[in-house]
Amino acid sequence: MTTCEELDKWPKTQLNTSPARTSLRFLILLVLVMVLVRGVAPSPSAGCPARCVCDDQLVVQCAGQHLTSFPTDLPLATRQLIISNNRIVDLPPVPLNCLSDLVYLDCSNNSLTEISESTFGNLRKLAYLDLSFNTLTRVDDRTFGPLSSLVMLRMTDNPGLSDIHPDAFGQNSGLQVLDVSRNNLTELNVSSLISLASLRAVGLSGNPWSCDCINEDLCLWVHVEGFKFQDEGQTVCSGPPDLQGQRLGELGLQLRSQCHQGLGSWDYLFFVAIGFVIFAGGTVSAWAIGVVMVVYERYIKKKSEEMDPDDEVEQEAGPGLGGGVGGGATQQAKPHGNGDLKNTGHMVV
């Protein structure tokens, strides 16, 4: 925090005077005396960043000042910071996170391209954040995670913003208003958004939404809780071609049925059952054929023993042609016959 203390340039009258600040009190007294003597009010920019206006409500106003970088010398006690309508290219984490009392931050209409987990790492009191009209392209996991008091997040009109992580807002349980209108979003995983209990207004319009199964949950959400969505009439599909211009809410149910035409668990169970039946049927029939062959073999053998040896030759040859299943039985039967029979059997097989 030494870095933050060094940065503190807020007029000391704004701070609680502690016993350790006796010398400061003296300094202030001195300043007041000088002011009285000269008859002029203290400059409002005392302890205030260049080209900004700081008031006694702890508001720092730097809008439209052609700033290209984040203002330096910000008073640590700042509660509202307005840096909109400039050309600021990044939000450096160190000076920004020193403003631990910040409640309101307007960064709209700048040239911000990147925000990360460390950008807002210490702003636990921040309730309002505006990142609209910038050039952001993606929002990662946990970027807004540290903002535990966040109530309203505006992030509209970033023409290249096409990627918002599914858990980007998962920890902002107090979020009431989320506006991501007029970006380049084709899809949005709403699994964690749906569970935000306080969320009452969502802006999604003006994005090139893709109305296929990937956005099934999004469309269903708009369908079920349409009242939450600002400009719901302008929240339309830009693809696939046959659904272009259709409202997301209208397609919720259609996508639900369309995206679940594939095999369900009952279908798989059916296939398993069929497989089992085929397997069991095959086993049973093979066993039955085996039994029939053995019985037939024994029957033939019995019959042949009752007949003359001359007839036996013709009878024994028949089952030999029956194939593998009967083969064992044929060989078993052979030792009981005479030498002539054995030779005949081999010749036949």
Q: Is 278 exposed, middle or buried (0-12, 13-18, 19+ CB in 10 A)?
A: exposed
Sign of the dihedral through C-alpha 226, 229, 230, 233 = negative
In angstroms, the CA 62 to CA 55 distance is 12
By beta-carbon proximity to ligand NAG, the closer residue of 159 and 275 is 159
By beta-carbon proximity to ligand NAG, the closer residue of 160 and 318 is 160
The least distance separating ligand NAG from the CB of residue 191, rounded to whole angstroms, comes to 4
By beta-carbon proximity to ligand NAG, the closer residue of 167 and 250 is 167
Sites of contact with ligand NAG (CB under 6 A):
64, 85, 109, 133, 159-160, 162, 166-167, 184, 186, 189, 191
In angstroms, the CA 251 to CA 216 distance is 9
In angstroms, the CA 221 to CA 206 distance is 17
The closest alpha carbon to 201, from 219, 182, 220, 175, belongs to 175
Token output for 110: 């700048």
In angstroms, the CA 78 to CA 10 distance is 8
The least distance separating ligand NAG from the CB of residue 189, rounded to whole angstroms, comes to 4
By beta-carbon proximity to ligand NAG, the closer residue of 194 and 291 is 194
By beta-carbon proximity to ligand NAG, the closer residue of 120 and 133 is 133
The closest alpha carbon to 4, from 92, 114, 128, belongs to 92
Three-state secondary structure call for residue 71:
coil
The least distance separating ligand NAG from the CB of residue 158, rounded to whole angstroms, comes to 9
Q: How many Cβ atoms sit within 10 Å of the Cβ of residue 140?
A: 16
User: Alpha helix locations (H) across 244-322?
Assistant: 248-258, 265-306, 309-320
- Give the pairing of strands 80-82 and 177-179: unpaired
By beta-carbon proximity to ligand NAG, the closer residue of 140 and 167 is 167
The least distance separating ligand NAG from the CB of residue 108, rounded to whole angstroms, comes to 7
The least distance separating ligand NAG from the CB of residue 188, rounded to whole angstroms, comes to 10
The least distance separating ligand NAG from the CB of residue 232, rounded to whole angstroms, comes to 22
By beta-carbon proximity to ligand NAG, the closer residue of 113 and 162 is 162
The least distance separating ligand NAG from the CB of residue 226, rounded to whole angstroms, comes to 21
The closest alpha carbon to 164, from 189, 195, 127, belongs to 189
The least distance separating ligand NAG from the CB of residue 217, rounded to whole angstroms, comes to 6
Three-state secondary structure call for residue 61:
strand
By beta-carbon proximity to ligand NAG, the closer residue of 113 and 184 is 184
Token output for 18: 């502690």
